Structure 1
């Protein structure tokens, strides 16, 4: 059987918290070590990419290591017709755990660097080109994750997802938040990685637009993806029997 819901929610809370701690903490350290903005972003993106890969490996076997409401929402939507993926109750729990985890992670990072626990960001990120960047970053993330699951390559998700987010720091105008929970969490810190609370709604709307676009691309390219939603982001060990039972059917689509 899969882990109980409370264990999965704890994994999502801790994983998202540590992800935001890595994002915010590495941003703080980067600004302390260098005055060059490009170098600061490089240090921040490398630390985030490696941390994300490690966290997926750590928490994936428990909760699937979503750490992201749009990933959880896509998993619920794509799996609802076949009874795979998250249930509606699971989805509500995941989103709540991810959001509070993200806030806790920002607070933890601030405290580790002797900053005020909560100091709302004043960094304005309100602009159409930034929202477009978030649509692109989020759609690409959804497409990557579900393509890996459909192709039976969920085992490489830690490296692939970490690499994608690290790269998207650089090829998107928004530096690839691509995560509503992380966006909310980053509004709680007045540091390199912060975002003003007034800028959060625009980013979140863009991320959900990216979710819609990403799901549309997944359905167009991988019409049988609904049978693979139990493997997002990392397959649970208990899913092996299900995967074997579906193996023959998967080869026909």
Structure 2
């Protein structure tokens, strides 16, 4: 398959990640206002919006860029496919990560503007406990393993609902509420809301996500030894259809 031009893929990754963070942060702000005295209900509202929002965004942008929206997924795609000549080119990984991170910050700012939250105020929610970092390892490992297992077994068409469902479930079964994404983690710094994370907590989350990504990749390589052949189809199969 011939991938879409890099510029087009980067736009898809930036806009897709921006909208994902707008969904996460915006629904978090709305939940905080709608249910100010019930944290459990806030989490339910936030996770439900994220499940549907992420599913729709993968369907929308996946055919262009694969809908990674996540530097860990992009790096894993490159690492897995580099020997087999599949997946992202090494020169594209950094560009993807920059586009995703810039998009994530823009998405948080957009959510702030929509809900009239002070744009220049950074998040103050501390997330530094060891159990939260363990939750991020688990959440990220599961996400990476799921994505590559679906690609390897030819079930990429199920990625949108499956990834959405996994993240929605991980909101509840992980102590960290499943950020599982370095770009989204950085983006959430820029909104002092229910979904935010203070800057001092970010390095620990990023480290946990990298460890989780490595563990997830190791697991899927063990379960599916020839998984590298499917790296081109992560998160969903994508190719340049502009001439069709």
CA–CA separation in structure 2 for the residues paired with 1:98 and 1:7:
13
8 Å Cα contact 2:4-2:239 kept in structure 1: no
Which position in structure 1 is the counterpart of 2:8? 7
Which position in structure 1 is the counterpart of 2:19? 18
Task: Say yes or no: does 1:108 pair with 2:128.
Answer: no
Structure 1 residue runs without a partner (length 5+)? 240-253
**What's the Cα RMSD here?**
1.0
Helix, strand or coil at the partner of 1:55: helix
8 Å Cα contact 2:64-2:240 kept in structure 1: no
CA–CA separation in structure 2 for the residues paired with 1:135 and 1:193:
19
Counterparts of residues 87-166 of structure 1 (less than 5 Å): 87-166=89-168
8 Å Cα contact 2:145-2:216 kept in structure 1: yes
Structure 2 residue runs without a partner (length 5+)? none
User: Following TM superposition, where does structure 1 have runs of at least 4 consecutive aligned residues deviating by more than 3 angstroms?
Assistant: none
Helix, strand or coil at the partner of 2:236: coil
CA–CA separation in structure 1 for the residues paired with 2:98 and 2:239:
25
8 Å Cα contact 2:26-2:112 kept in structure 1: yes
CA–CA separation in structure 2 for the residues paired with 1:79 and 1:177:
25
Deviation digits for residues 206-232 of structure 1 (CA, Å, limit 9, x no counterpart): 000001101110111011000000110
Deviation digits for residues 101-134 of structure 1 (CA, Å, limit 9, x no counterpart): 0000000000001111231011100011000000
Task: Say yes or no: does 1:58 pair with 2:60.
Answer: yes
Paired residue total: 239
Which position in structure 1 is the counterpart of 2:209? 207
**TM-score (norm: length of structure 2):** 0.96
Which position in structure 1 is the counterpart of 2:200? 198
CA–CA separation in structure 2 for the residues paired with 1:43 and 1:15:
21
Which position in structure 1 is the counterpart of 2:180? 178
**TM-score (norm: length of structure 1):** 0.93
User: Residue 65 of structure 1: CA displacement?
Assistant: 0.1
User: Residue 237 of structure 1: CA displacement?
Assistant: 4.3
User: Residue 135 of structure 1: CA displacement?
Assistant: 0.2
User: Residue 189 of structure 1: CA displacement?
Assistant: 0.7
Q: Cα distance 1:76–1:165, how it changes in 2: closer, same or farther (>3 A)?
A: same
CA–CA separation in structure 2 for the residues paired with 1:210 and 1:109:
28
CA–CA separation in structure 2 for the residues paired with 1:49 and 1:222:
27
CA–CA separation in structure 2 for the residues paired with 1:59 and 1:238:
12
Deviation digits for residues 133-187 of structure 1 (CA, Å, limit 9, x no counterpart): 0000000000000000000000000000000000000000000000000000001
CA–CA separation in structure 1 for the residues paired with 2:172 and 2:124:
22
User: Residue 84 of structure 1: CA displacement?
Assistant: 0.6
